[in-house]
Structure 1
Amino acid sequence: MLRWILLAVAVVVLAAASTLVMNSAPAPSPFGVPVAPTATGPQPKAVVDGDLTWEFGEMGQQQTGKRSWKLTNQGEVDLQIWKGSSTCMCTVAKLQKDGDRLTLKPGESTDIDIEFKTNYVTGDFHKGANIETNDPLHPTFPLFVHGKINPPIILIPDNTIDFHTVNTDAPTKVFVALYSPDRPETKITEINTSKPEYLTTEVVPMSESEIESSGGKVKQGYKINIDVKPGFPMGLMREEIVIHTDHPHRPEIKLTAVGTVVGPVSVVPDRLRMVTVKSAEGASSEVHLSVRAGKEATFTVASKPDKLEVSITPEESADVKGRYKVTIKVPKGTSTGLIDGEVVLKTDLPNAGELKIPVSFLVGSN
């Protein structure tokens, strides 16, 4: 009996001791990981002069920029510094001592350079690199550069010039503005057009009032007047204008002039497109021409895709004059493939020039 009493007393004593140990132990981390010990004793202290983001304003494409920050160890022990991650290959943090890692004694300073290349970015630019340290309060310093990147040449409105509707009986003029933000002294050396006999250009320096109205964006620039002369071929317009400059990063600029040229002859429809032509059967379609005021005219075929047959006949009508039918035919046995191009007609009407009819036929075996 005495033996059982002693055993019970021992169990109670052990339970009490266990409870005391549990209550005196530190509480576990609520995140399931050990609590990091708090730094004690003298520590390094990294201090960077100025804002960590440098606002550089505006730069041009394919340029290299550089910014320096001064970093000082204001702590009581050595500060370790090394390069961290970068937002892109165009941004590199360079420490002003040998190697990618250095030690600063208390009170010592160093410069940290960020070099960056704008490449072909247009618009907002925000890049940076991280500097890592052994300062427990500032383990990382993110150094950034921010600004706007301009293309070498700016065109207003843009690289496509829409003439909308052009009357072949009268001259039509539009203009584009051109300037260089990073090289205001840029000059236009030459301009070529795909139809120099009908599409001409004139370069005029911007006036002082035009430069002032830009709000400081333009220091020097040009207006390029583009003229469509009477007699331009009727139909859809898509021509090229090539501007040559002395800017090293944009020596050539290609513009596209688009629109619809109308005149004394209207075309219905203004283009032909067929995607179900069978080689064994062939196919044909028609375009109708109407001459203004019912005048009579002569039309001849100036050019056409080789595989097509084109004929022009007056429309039979006793009441209406000046109307003609253009029959465009894919002959039987035409080889398979895409027939894409223009049927160009000439006329004897004054200032009418040529008449272009875009055509597209897809010839299949079945």
Structure 2
Amino acid sequence: MSMRAWVVVVLAAVVGTATGAYMAHWRVTSLPWDGTPEGAKIHLSTDEAAKLNVSSVPDDGVPEVVVDHTEYNFGLMDSSATGRHEFTFTNKGTGTLKLSKGHTTCKCTMANFEHAEVPPGQSTKVTLEFKGQGFSGPYKQTATVITNDPKQPQVELMVAGRIIPILRAVPSEVSFTGISAGAPVTRTVDLFGYVDTPLQITGFELADKKTAEMFEIKTEPIKPEVLAKEAGAKSGVQLSVTVKPGLPVGAFKQTIHLSTNLEGAPHHDLEVSGNVVSDLVIVGARWDEERSLLGIGTVSSKEEVSRRLILIARGKYRDQVKLKIAEVWPDLLKVEFEPPVAVGETIRQFPIVIRIPKGTPPANYLGSEAAQTGRIVLETNHPDAPKMLIRVGFAVEN
């Protein structure tokens, strides 16, 4: 580059710098400050402007959310009811408050609300709903409302309370553990109603028709002192369940289908279970005493399978005990008695052989949801155990 060209470049730079400095001086001296942080920067040095840290204020102002309360307790609530409560959101700021639906827990919803805009000084309602179905006892649920308030970007609302059913049974199941076969045994259940309509049991039905006649069901008004102790209960009925003598020794189950006059709870099922014991006891390999079940499992039709149980007789009637086969189902099962054996002076054993013959056709009596178990009913002359039940779980494959 020639000397003349270098002189032109240097001269242009000097002129440009001088012109920029003049224009900056003219803006500072001639233009007024507009009140904004950006406008203030032209009146400051570069270092001073960099240190300036003032948040800009939107043209339409800043919203400020205020909620009258964020928690509410429904107290006692029916399990079939829906609780609703309104929370008031007020805008105390200078800009428009914008609200939108945030996260809610599984049973809590914001009714008829997706979003809202609240002008300064105005208020809006946010309704929280809680459905009690599927809940029992105390609960606590939350819902979040998203806001454009820079100081409070979200508001968490909470509802709490205690869920009670329309109808509740105490105890929830009836248990007869270790009862005698020769004497009646009674258990009672307190049924509580939590609605204004006085509870009445209008009828009942026993699910297992085979043993239905062995149960007696009675109802009577619940005692006032019992009702007073149940929080929230407004009425009640005491149900008596009596097991009559004559059930086979072993485990039993029954379901009582109750009918009531309560809207929303016209039916209530009460499970009954237990086991009958006496001086006669069955023992053996793969014998489940609690279920009165002999588990043979799956066998092949190509060979015979046999299992041996022993009925043990104790007590004063042990030497007089006699056994008789009252029922065998299905007839694929074969049952035989072996001669009784005395064990000392207090026990007498009665061996029982259960066979599945070779060539038995395919069958399924494993007792799953799709199949029942087989059963053997023994009759005895023992006063405490006139009948004994043996369930047999088995299946046959080719």
TM-score by length of 1: 0.78
Partners in 1 of 2:323 and 2:303 — Cα distance?
31
Q: Which residue of 2 aligns with 1:190?
A: 203
Query: For structure 1, which segment, 313-322 or 112-121, has the greater mean C-alpha deviation from structure 2 after superposition?
Result: 313-322
**3-state SS of 1:170 partner:** coil
Unpaired runs of at least 5, structure 1: 1-19, 28-34
Is residue 267 from structure 1 mapped to residue 286 from structure 2 by the alignment? no
Q: Which residue of 2 aligns with 1:299?
A: 324
Partners in 2 of 1:122 and 1:335 — Cα distance?
50
CA 1:23–1:137 in structure 2 vs 1: closer, same or farther (change >3 Å)?
Answer: closer
Deviation at 1:207, TM superposition (A): 0.8
Is residue 139 from structure 1 mapped to residue 148 from structure 2 by the alignment? no
What letter is aligned with 2:358?
A: K
Kindly indicate whether the alpha-carbon contact (under 8 Å) linking 2:250 and 2:275 is maintained by their aligned counterparts in 1: yes
Partners in 1 of 2:340 and 2:50 — Cα distance?
107
Deviation at 1:91, TM superposition (A): 0.6
Aligned pair partner of 2:388 in 342, 355, 361: 355
Aligned pair partner of 1:335 in 353, 356, 361: 361
CA 1:85–1:313 in structure 2 vs 1: closer, same or farther (change >3 Å)?
Answer: closer
Partners in 1 of 2:46 and 2:295 — Cα distance?
92
Deviation at 1:145, TM superposition (A): 1.6
How do residues 204-283 of structure 1 correspond to structure 2 at under 5 angstroms? 204-214=220-230, 216-263=231-278, 265-269=280-284, 270=289, 271-275=293-297, 277-283=299-305
Deviation at 1:138, TM superposition (A): 2.5
Is residue 126 from structure 1 mapped to residue 151 from structure 2 by the alignment? no
Deviation at 1:259, TM superposition (A): 1.9
Partners in 1 of 2:70 and 2:135 — Cα distance?
22
Identical-residue share of aligned pairs (%): 28
How do residues 96-111 of structure 1 correspond to structure 2 at under 5 angstroms? 100-104=115-119, 106-111=120-125
Deviation at 1:211, TM superposition (A): 2.0
Partners in 1 of 2:90 and 2:273 — Cα distance?
61
Query: For structure 1, which segment, 196-205 or 182-191, has the greater mean C-alpha deviation from structure 2 after superposition?
Result: 182-191
- Please list the CA deviations of residues 207-238 of structure 1 after superposition, one character each: whole Å capped at 9, or x if unmatched: 11212333x34332122111111112222222
Partners in 1 of 2:162 and 2:388 — Cα distance?
47
CA 1:319–1:60 in structure 2 vs 1: closer, same or farther (change >3 Å)?
Answer: closer
What letter is aligned with 2:187?
A: V
Query: For structure 1, which segment, 37-46 or 74-83, has the greater mean C-alpha deviation from structure 2 after superposition?
Result: 37-46
Kindly indicate whether the alpha-carbon contact (under 8 Å) linking 1:130 and 1:141 is maintained by their aligned counterparts in 2: yes
Kindly indicate whether the alpha-carbon contact (under 8 Å) linking 1:279 and 1:336 is maintained by their aligned counterparts in 2: yes
**3-state SS of 1:197 partner:** helix
CA 1:358–1:44 in structure 2 vs 1: closer, same or farther (change >3 Å)?
Answer: same
Q: Which residue of 2 aligns with 1:203?
A: 219
Deviation at 1:250, TM superposition (A): 2.9
Q: Which residue of 2 aligns with 1:14?
A: none
Aligned pair partner of 2:162 in 140, 144, 148: 148
- Please list the CA deviations of residues 251-306 of structure 1 after superposition, one character each: whole Å capped at 9, or x if unmatched: 22223322221235332345422236332111112222344331142412323223
Is residue 71 from structure 1 mapped to residue 93 from structure 2 by the alignment? no
Deviation at 1:67, TM superposition (A): 0.8
Is residue 46 from structure 1 mapped to residue 65 from structure 2 by the alignment? yes
Deviation at 1:26, TM superposition (A): 5.0
Kindly indicate whether the alpha-carbon contact (under 8 Å) linking 1:128 and 1:142 is maintained by their aligned counterparts in 2: yes
Q: How many residues align?
A: 335
Deviation at 1:76, TM superposition (A): 3.1
Deviation at 1:131, TM superposition (A): 2.8
Aligned pair partner of 1:178 in 187, 191, 202: 191
Cα RMSD over matched residues?
Answer: 3.3
The structure that is helix-richer by fraction is: 2
